Amino acid sequence: MTELLTLSDVAQRLHVSLRTVRRLVAAGQLRVIRVGRRPLVTSGEFEAFVAGRRRVA
C-alpha cells in the first residue's frame, strides 16, 4: 500500500518550511492528491521528486 504524507511530513523530510512545500505544490513541482480538503503526497511522488531534485531552496 502506498504511504500518504502530509505537507508537514514532506517539509520535515526535505528540511524546509511548510511554506516552501506549499510553493512547490502551487508551482506544480510537487503533485498532491486531495482527500477531502487535505492535500497529501504519495510516497512514490515524494521519492520521484527527491530523485529529480538535489536542492530545494
Residues 6+ apart with CB under 8 A from 54: none
Does residue 31 belong to any structural domain of this protein? yes
The Cα 31–Cα 42 span in angstroms is: 9
- The Cβ-side half-sphere exposure at 31, using a 13 Å CA radius, reads 7
Residue 5, number of CB atoms within 10 A of its CB: 19
Domain around 45: 4-52
Give a yes or no: residue 11 inside a domain: yes
pLDDT given at position 55: 56
Output the CA angle 50-55-57, nearest 5 degrees: 120
- 5-49 pLDDT, tens digit per residue, is 999 999 999 999 999 999 999 999 999 999 999 999 999 999 999
Q: Which residue has the higher pLDDT, 57 or 4?
A: 4
User: Where does the pLDDT of residue 54 fall: very low under 50, low under 70, confident under 90, or very high at 90 and above?
Assistant: low
In a domain, 57, yes or no: no
Our count of domains for the chain comes to: 1
Segment 44-55 mean pLDDT: 85
Whole-number pLDDT of residue 16: 96
Nearest to residue 30, comparing CAs of 1, 11, 2, 3?
11
